Amino acid sequence: MTTLKDLMNWRYATKKMDPSKTVSEDKVEAILDAIRMAPTSSGTQPFEVFVVTNDEMRAKIREVGWDQSQITESSHLLVFAAWDNYTAERIDAVRAHMEELRGENPMLTEYYEKLKSIYLPRDTQVNHDHAARQGYIALGFAMLAAAELGVDTCPMEGFDPAAVDEIMGLKELGLRSVTLLPLGYRQEGADWLLPMQKVRKSRDTLVKSIN
């Protein structure tokens, strides 16, 4: 039986993907469902995910993405785009969705009114950064789900977010791109990183116990 540790050791930031291989739609949907089910602060899910398969758009993103070949060699490119800010309308929509599924609850109303009183006065960049961090939680879920399905990934911050936003028209949607995640299959014998030992800090270096 494959364990979680096995999956984490199998996955790596794939540098060379095989453009002749396509991730099946059922696997893509399973990865997207893992993203959808990931936890976020106050259940806001303050981001959207774009599945880009259009060759022309991916070529443009590669031009502003440090010419990373995985952007065009993968079969699907996921673009995580966080809300540019928290607004009363966005938070009210979260509460309304919860009420639709759980029923009206005075405690729920009070909670989200309190959330608005905290979030709305804050600086726009502070709110965007907070929203982006929620997207990164989902990114981790996506990579583990992909590994379980035998799909390779490479999380990317190496791109010009403003340029990607312009290419995809994200600003008009109240969104800002924060990370990219190509989905595909490693190209055996062509990826310089594949045969290398995985390098991580030791537990003693990374973990500190406070008793």
Total residue count of the chain as it appears in this document: 211
Q: Which two tokens stand for residue 156?
A: 């990317």
Per-residue pLDDT, averaged over 169-190, amounts to 97
Per-residue pLDDT at 71 exceeds 90: yes
Q: Check residue 77 and give its pLDDT.
A: 98
CB 73 within 8 A of CB 17: yes
- pLDDT bin (cut points 50, 70, 90) of residue 91 is very high
- pLDDT bin (cut points 50, 70, 90) of residue 78 is very high
pLDDT > 70 fraction of the chain, expressed in percent and rounded: 100
Q: Check residue 192 and give its pLDDT.
A: 94
CB 11 within 8 A of CB 183: no
Rounded Cα–Cα distance for residues 56 and 58 (Å):
5
**Beta-carbon contacts of residue 211 (< 8 Å; ≥ 6 apart):** none
CB 96 within 8 A of CB 47: no
Q: Strands (DSSP E) along 30-113, which ranges?
A: 47-52, 76-83
pLDDT tens by residue, 105-150: 999 999 999 999 999 999 999 999 999 999 999 999 999 999 999 9
Q: Report DSSP letters for 151-179, one per residue.
A: -EE--B--S-HHHHHHHHT-GGGTEEEEE
Q: Check residue 2 and give its pLDDT.
A: 87
Across the chain, mean pLDDT equals: 97
Q: Check residue 16 and give its pLDDT.
A: 97
3-state helix, strand, coil in the chain (%, to 5): 50, 15, 35
Per-residue pLDDT at 1 exceeds 90: no
Per-residue pLDDT at 156 exceeds 80: yes
Query: What's the CA dihedral at 24, 79, 46, 37 to 10 degrees?
Result: 20
**Beta-carbon contacts of residue 118 (< 8 Å; ≥ 6 apart):** none
Q: Which domains does the chain have, with CATH numbers?
A: 4-36+47-83+140-197 (3.40.109.10)
Per-residue pLDDT, averaged over 40-52, amounts to 98
